[in-house]
Structure 1
Amino acid sequence: MDCSDSKQWVRACAAADVKPGEPKGLRLAGIPIALYRLEDGVYATHDVCTHAYALLSEGYIEGDAIECPLHGAQFDIRSGKCLAVATADLSTYEVRVEDGSLLVKVPADAGADAP
């Protein structure tokens, strides 16, 4: 194992808890994360819109994009790339399925500043 890897896998939820067309918001290691199930798998992005503070997990999935419920900013779910309104991309996180659970790879020190 590479000791310089500054990320850790954290259990998010049961894989069955993330339904197609329904973003799921949660906090992992102090980071707000949104999970999305698309046809080819489950993806994770930062849950806060980069345009104005709004939770993307309360937004709308349109194809492979998430639309912010506040001002309609749109982001590609797979890459985090901004598609409309906002100018900054979203952070994305690796997701894997293990024993029926979803694990998300987050910065190892993310929880250090969490309340």
Structure 2
Amino acid sequence: MSYTTVAHVTELNEDKPLAVDVNDDLSVALVLHHGRVYAIEDECSHGKVKLSDGDVEDSTIECYLHGSTFDLETGRPLNLPATTSVRVFPCRIEGEDVQIDVTTPTTDY
């Protein structure tokens, strides 16, 4: 695994997604939920809308435009209209840094 620092822990607020540009091709939503940090691709697989603009509840993040919710751990859509998973990435806290590993995303396609 190859972890990259993408944020500082002070930038995270419980259940408030934080949009982070990892590189030119990838943005993720970092979500602190029940004391755990998740990194999920920041684009709804249905409507190409930023998931970081959605609400977090019960270990899910909701696309605000059409209402699809995605499991924070697996990226799996839990309701229509989305039918395709989004990528999730291993995430850890090292000191004060939030780090993700973009080389080993997991999906449930």
Matches within 5 A, 1:7-86: 8-30=2-24, 31-85=26-80, 86=82
Tell whether 2:55 aligns with 1:98.
no
The Cα shift of 1:45 comes to 0.6
Give the distance between the partners of 1:70 and 1:95, measured in 2 at CA: 27
Which residue identity is paired with 2:30? L
Q: Structure 1 length normalisation: TM-score?
A: 0.83
Indicate the structure with greater strand content.
Answer: 1
Q: 2:6 aligns to what SS in structure 1?
A: strand
Q: Gapped runs of 5+ residues in structure 1?
A: 1-6, 109-115
Q: Percent identity?
A: 27
Q: Gapped runs of 5+ residues in structure 2?
A: 105-109
Give the ranges of 4+ consecutive aligned residues of structure 1 lying more than 2 Å apart after TM superposition. Answer: none
Residue pair 1:13, 1:102 contacting (<8 A) in 2 also: yes
Which residue identity is paired with 1:8? S
Alignment size in residue pairs = 102
Q: Structure 2 length normalisation: TM-score?
A: 0.87
> How much is the aligned-residue C-alpha RMSD, in angstroms?
1.4
The Cα shift of 1:27 comes to 0.8
The Cα shift of 1:35 comes to 0.5
